[in-house]
Amino acid sequence: MEQTYSRRTTIENGLRVALEQNHFFLVFQPQIHVQTNEIAGVEVLLRYCHPVLGMISPAEFIPLCENNGMIDEVTHWVIKKALNQQNKWIEEGLPRMKMAINISPSTIVNSGFADVLNKFFKESNVFGEFIEFEITEDVFFEYSSQTLQTLNELKNMGIKLALDDFGSGYSSLRQMKELPLHKIKIDKVFIDHVELDRDRAFLDSILDLTKKLESSVVCEGVESKVQVDYLISKGDLIAQGYYYSKPLTSSEFKIWYGRHLQNRVFS
Ligand code: C2E
Ligand code: CA
Ligand code: CA
């Protein structure tokens, strides 16, 4: 217990200097239309390289940022960096890439968030239509009329909203119906065993629901050809996972993109 406590304290202390000392960086994971192999966009994922402990998973440090009050500042850093990256890629000859950015529930429902975004958009000259926010079902815990108002404000700015990890958390279908969701990301657990009848039954019914909601769909954690073939048979879905690519640094992504243009084949 002592060890866990000291690791946590070490990370928490490190997080306070991480922004100033460039210990954070972004990686990008492609999202692909399964039927055409065209790129639908990239998901932006945060990385933290601690000077002593090395790489730390966002699954470990993001909850610490949410607890110690740093999450808004960290999220603003991610958004700013992502918008700058868009501009760098354009300068380097890549097309404008849709970017999906993970936003914690407490940040997205913050009433000042839209103003911060407007400022970033003006500064970078990148606007809402190239941005998608991924929110998890935890947003329902913060749910109020203010939540709906803020989400609608973002929608009016052209920002798309995707529900992340769908099916793995607490979902209220009633609230889900009210949210201005553009996309649903189906959690990896529903994709892992598409070869099993029971698992396929779950996946198929989620796909039926998303079709009725007229949301587009991203299947997460796609790792094998068997999974891809199954998804191809289900329509125009988007997939993301190691089968296509691991999350890549900005320069790795540029190389990956160049190769992808030449031969759109994955194996
Ligand atoms: P997530 O949003 O569900 O992100 C997908 C996670 O699955 C990523 O882990 C990604 O690297 C991993 N992944 C992608 N494809 C595959 C695959 O085929 N197989 C397997 N086994 N894993 C795959 P990562 O980058 O460690 O992120 C973990 C979580 O941390 C994310 O889950 C997200 O909830 C959170 N996170 C990451 N970056 C940010 C951020 O900037 N802000 C916030 N609020 N949360 C973030
Ligand atoms: Ca995500
Ligand atoms: Ca996810």
Find the CATH number of the domain harbouring 146.
3.20.20.450
Number of structural domains (the chain) is: 1
Helix, strand, or coil (residue 165): strand
Nearest CA to ligand 1 atom 45: 102
Mean of all residue pLDDT scores within the chain: 92
Question: Is 245 touching ligand 1 by the criterion CB < 6 Å?
Answer: no
Higher pLDDT among residues 210 and 101, named by residue: 101
Q: Alpha-carbon distance 258 to 179, whole Å? A: 37
- Interior angle at CA 134, CA 133 and CA 139, nearest 5: 110
pLDDT in tens, 49-84: 999 999 999 999 999 999 999 999 999 999 999 999
Ligand 1 atom nearest to 240, measured from its CA: 15
Please give the residue range of the domain that contains residue 207.
2-266
**DSSP 8-state symbol, 189:** G
Written in H, E and C, the secondary structure of 217-258 is EEECCCCCHHHHHHHHCCCCCEECCCCCCCCECHHHHHHHHH
Q: Which of 176-180, 219-223, 230-234, 252-256 bottoms out in mean pLDDT, i.e. has the lowest?
A: 176-180
Of 60, 102, 190, which is best to mutate to test ligand 1, by the most ligand atoms within 8 angstroms of its C-beta? 102
pLDDT score, position 230:
97
pLDDT in tens, 174-215: 777 778 899 999 999 999 999 999 999 999 999 998 888 778
**Residue 1 — pLDDT band, cuts 50, 70, 90?**
low
pTM: 0.95
Q: Which ligand is nearest to the CA of 186?
A: 3
Nearest CA to ligand 1 atom 24: 58
Higher pLDDT among residues 179 and 254, named by residue: 254
Q: Alpha-carbon distance 44 to 104, whole Å? A: 14
